[in-house]
Amino acid sequence: MIVLPAIDLHEGKCVRLFQGDYATAEVVAGDPIETAQGFAEAGAHWLHMVDLDGAKAGEPVNRRQILDVVRATGMKVEVGGGIRAMKDVAGYLDAGAARVILGSAALRSPDFVREAVKEYGGRIAVGIDAWGGMAASQGWTEQSQVNYIDLARRMEDLGVQYIICTDIQKDGTQAGPNLEMLDRLNRSVECNVTASGGVSSLLDLAALYDLGLYGAIAGKAVYAGALDLRTAVTACHKLGGRRPKTEAALNDELDRFFHKGELIPAIVQDRRTNQVLMLAYMNREALRKTLETGTTWFYSRSRKALWNKGETSGNTQRVVSVAADCDDDTLLVRVDPRGPACHTGKTSCFFKEIYGESAE
């Protein structure tokens, strides 16, 4: 599950609201770029940004500040608030935003949503904000008579892959997310659902993970210090639990390992002896296949192709665990080997001693 720290902009400042009431706007951080960089240093790769003024005005207001964050941090930023026209969608995505969030348009302009999804596919998300189970719009200032699940199903029919669901009554309260509401939604559609509103602790994140959600947005609890972002990101980055609903969602989770390039080194270790057996490289597909099959897959830089260890020799490796280093740019794959790791017949590829005492 992905944790997305939130930056809500009001008059150019980072604020948080209580239950969507603009009159309760409280400045919670200083410069948006510095705030986002702090989130990145804590390990977050995704960032949720909302132009609160734009949501009320019906057009982007804080666009420049948002794009400054996109350019300065290199984070994957999803942007919402006042995006009601294709020019605004294109303006954000062409400038480097990872996704745009359409909110009021889901209720008022389904044809616009359809056009945006047709053009940009998974880079479009729909925000469904509900009060008492009914969808709201115009920066939460207007409530409709459309049930949130009915609206979600309409969006799914339009091809929407990502839904961000907010229980307005929970937003900014740190009272815990509306698990029943989120569970009903997640079971009702095949879209990837992100929870927003009320997240206040690791227990909340664990509960959302157990529901099989795609992501969780954390705002006020992070600013207040009630939720340590680094700990939250680490906890939710564990792979091997529930598989994301779609291939795109799985790729979103794997993206953090490829922020420096298309390949990541993988150190393979015998889990019984702790001996290092080999070093190879994985691309996204190799890592995905490794996690799915429980055997090691790598990418050959010379052949420019995937290969499954032991496919021809029979010297397979059953994966016991996969861990990332502190920078998410190297993997440690612990295995139960069947046969030698090296093509020479040696147990380990590391047998050419150049200094000190040999491991064998």
Catalytic annotation, residues: 8, 129
Query: In residues, how long is the chain?
Result: 360
Q: From CA 113, how far away is CA 102, in angstroms rounded? A: 7
CB 15 within 8 A of CB 28: yes
Q: From CA 233, how far away is CA 45, in angstroms rounded? A: 9
Tokens representing residue 142 in the block: 């207007």
CB 320 within 8 A of CB 336: yes
